[in-house]
Amino acid sequence: SAVISQKPSRDICQRGTSLTIQCQVDSQVTMMFWYRQQPGQSLTLIATANQGSEATYESGFVIDKFPISRPNLTFSTLTVSNMSPEDSSIYLCSVPLAEDTQYFGPGTRLTVL
Amino acid sequence: GDSVTQMEGPVTLSEEAFLTINCTYTATGYPSLFWYVQYPGEGLQLLLKATKADDKGSNKGFEATYRKETTSFHLEKGSVQVSDSAVYFCAGGSTLGRLYFGRGTQLTVWP
């Protein structure tokens, strides 16, 4: 199976700042997904990152808050902008490596003070 | 929209006990169904999956059968071990590759 890495693994940030999270896959994939896991909660899909086009956002998530880049088939970034304590979560990228099967990166644990 | 409803925990069992974690789905079509596991301090891992009705997914002694008539995908294991302590997530998948997750069930197994 492919190796999926994320940077940073964790960070503590101040309110009002922004953090960019990187996701790297060791094989080329058409679609990449970004999820959020709030403390004690399940995973919620933020957006689908498509190479060569704008990301597709789920209801409740907007580009101004969570801008996404997808410059090539192995890499994507998610930025959490103008952070507040409510943004404290684990952010995960995932890629489909088999039909309807997602494999997840190790996650980025974000704490906003 | 499509969703899964998962038995909430926490679930606490003694080693070698039988485990069932219930999961039902609501979908307009026939989604693929998954169980993911998150061990303490680790990332999310695929445990097993089933892509069509009557399929049985199995891995590490865990099993789940895709039952269309009851729209269920219950996770079972005949004899749990301390090392099975983790959070288990039921999930459904759309044809676009997007997943929707249940709320997760915390399992603790005592020796």
Whether A25 and A2 have beta carbons less than 8 Å apart is answered as yes
Which of B7, B99, B105 has the most A C-beta neighbours within 10 Å, making it the best mutation to test the interface with A?
A: B99
Whether B97 sits inside 8 A of A33 (CB atoms) is yes
Whether A48 sits inside 8 A of B104 (CB atoms) is no
Provide DSSP, chain A.
Answer: ---EEEE-SEEEE-TT--EEEEEEESS--SEEEEEEE-TTS-EEEEEEEETTS--EEPTT--TTTS-EEEEETTEEEEEE-S--GGG-EEEEEEEEEETTEEEE---EEEEE-
Provide φ and ψ at B72, rounded to 5°.
-130, 160
pLDDT digits (tens, 9 = 90+) for A30-70: 889 999 999 888 899 999 998 888 899 999 999 999 999 99
pLDDT digits (tens, 9 = 90+) for B2-30: 899 998 889 999 999 999 999 999 998 88
User: Chain centroid to CA B67: how far?
Assistant: 13
Q: How confident is the model at residue B43 (pLDDT cuts 50, 70, 90)?
A: confident
Contact residues on chain B for A42, CB-CB shorter than 8 A: 89, 101-104
